[in-house]
Amino acid sequence: MSNFDVAVIGGGMVGAATAIGFAKQGRKVAVVEGSEPKAFTPEQPLDIRVSAISEHSVSLLSDLGAWDAIQQMRICPYRRLETWEHPECRTRFHADSLGMDQLGFIIENRLIQLGLWQQLEALDNVTLYCPDKLENIEFGELNQIKLASGTSISAKLTVGADGANSKVRQLAGIGITAWDYRQHCMLINVETELPQQDITWQQFTPSGPRSFLPLASLEGDGKSVPQGSLVWYDSPSRIKRLSAMSPAQLREEVLAHFPQELGDIKVLQSGSFPLTRRHAQSYSANQCVLVGDSAHTINPLAGQGVNLGFKDVEVLLAVTEGKEELSSDVLAQYERKRRPDNLLMQSGMDFFYKSFSNDIAPLKLVRNAALKMAEKTGPLKVQVLKYALGLK
């Protein structure tokens, strides 16, 4: 049996970042992952799953040595953000107000993972078990971890980075608080007639928000083709009907229900998923610790999910730096630092979501007035933006 200081279950974006961080501390690390990220070529269609990466997350990716590789693939920086319900009542944010070159980057999840894996594979003290998955854990002073392949390993600390339905969380006996938003989210990758790669926007409607995320343009036939990701929140039945449509039919629905800012489009691909909020009742137990979606999932309204996960990684690495023993007291310190921030972001997104998900006339008047006032609040608006970007 191979012995490790840390076994990271899940080699996605957050898991890979955690593994690199622990390896850089000089620890012997195992990573268990079901499939490695597909290699990148410039002509590949853009993936459906993308994230809005904050400058704070970029700093972590740079510290881990992965950002240069990600940049060399494809990224889309954005400088402006707008949100509104009524077109005349908008709140606008601009990178210039913070003295920044951009507010963040829209990047395919696979490419973030790929950049991190390039670092993982270059580290002598990291062992990858891929393709493989967790079968069982026998808890003790050293956790005995059995994998589906029949391989067994032991580790002083087991990191659950295996997503919203975390098996590490379940085996460790950590409960969750959860509820279903009774809505689904549809992601639609499109070619756009209009070049609008520097802005992300969101319009609230009673049935759910309609959002646009700029994507990197692709080169084709000697020209640059602007692309974007549309996010359509609606009832499960409505999303099911949209998912059954042809690209041409879906295009007509998008043009009828998205704001005119979008312009004409060509639908490339789409996918959908249900919206559920989860929060682990503890972030650690039985020498297991949870990071990212294993610990918390959030309404994707502001694209903060992976940024919260990277903040988990940053704090976990900070509290364990220089500690030979990864004790329960150290893990409790990690939870004390991260739980309030994760809970605040979850609750904030829920407040926005519920406040705008109705068609009650007095509420519409109040919330549109609030958006119009927010546009003129100056320093307060800047502070809100800094918090959303992880700068505070």
The verdict on 296 and 207 lying in the same domain is no
- Residue 154: the pLDDT is 98
From 2-6, 352-356, 361-365, 375-379, the region with the lowest mean pLDDT: 361-365
116 and 7 within one domain: yes
Q: Which of 95-99, 105-109, 321-325 has the lowest mean pLDDT?
A: 95-99
The alpha carbon of 222 is separated from its chain's Cα centroid by a whole number of angstroms, namely: 33
Same domain, 163 and 194: no
Q: Write down which residue in 276, 298, 321 finishes a domain.
A: 276
* Residue 308 is assigned to a structural domain of this protein: yes
For the cut 90, the answer to whether the pLDDT of residue 265 exceeds it is yes
Separation of alpha carbons 107 and 306, rounded Å: 11
Q: Are residues 188 and 256 in the same domain?
A: yes
Question: Does the pLDDT of residue 101 top 60, yes or no?
Answer: yes
In a domain, residue 383? The reply is no
Same domain, 36 and 119: yes
Same domain, 135 and 284: yes
The answer to whether residue 173 is domain-embedded is: yes
What residues have CB less than 8 Å from 241, skipping those under 6 apart?
none
Mean pLDDT to the nearest integer, 201-216: 90
CATH number for position 316: 3.50.50.60
Strands 80-84 and 199-203: parallel
Model confidence at 359, in pLDDT bands (50, 70, 90)? low
pLDDT at residue 10, as a whole number: 98
Residue 372 neighbours by CB under 8 Å, 6+ apart: 88, 89, 90, 91
Mean pLDDT of 233-246: 96
| Greatest Cα pair distance in the chain | 65
Of 248, 276, 304, which marks where a domain is finished? 276
**300 touches 345 (CB < 8 A):** no
State whether 264 and 324 are in the same domain: no
- Tally of domains in the chain: 2
Same domain membership, residue 185 and residue 174:
no
**pLDDT tens-digit readout, 157-208:** 999 999 999 999 999 999 999 877 788 999 999 999 998 889 999 998 888 8
Q: Are residues 163 and 196 in the same domain?
A: no
**Lowest-confidence segment of 207-211, 284-288, 343-347 by average pLDDT:** 343-347
Residues 169 and 220 in one domain: no
In a domain, 66, yes or no: yes
Confidence label for 351 from pLDDT (cuts 50, 70 and 90): low
27 in a structural domain: yes
Q: Are residues 43 and 167 in the same domain?
A: yes
227, 244, 276 - which closes a domain: 276
**In this structure, is residue 375 part of a structural domain?**
no
Could you list the residue range(s) of the whole structural domain that residue 50 is in?
A: 2-75+110-179+277-355
Check which CATH number belongs to the domain holding 190 and give it. Answer: 3.30.9.10
Would you state the pLDDT for residue 368? Answer: 44
Summarize the confidence of residues 113-127 as an average pLDDT: 97
> Is residue 150 one of the residues assigned to a domain?
yes
**Residue 231 clears pLDDT 90, i.e. is over it:** yes
Do 59 and 152 sit in the same domain of this protein?
A: yes
Q: Judge whether 343 lies within some domain.
A: yes
10 in Cβ contact with 294 (< 8 Å)? yes
- CA distance linking residue 150 with residue 1, whole number of Å: 11
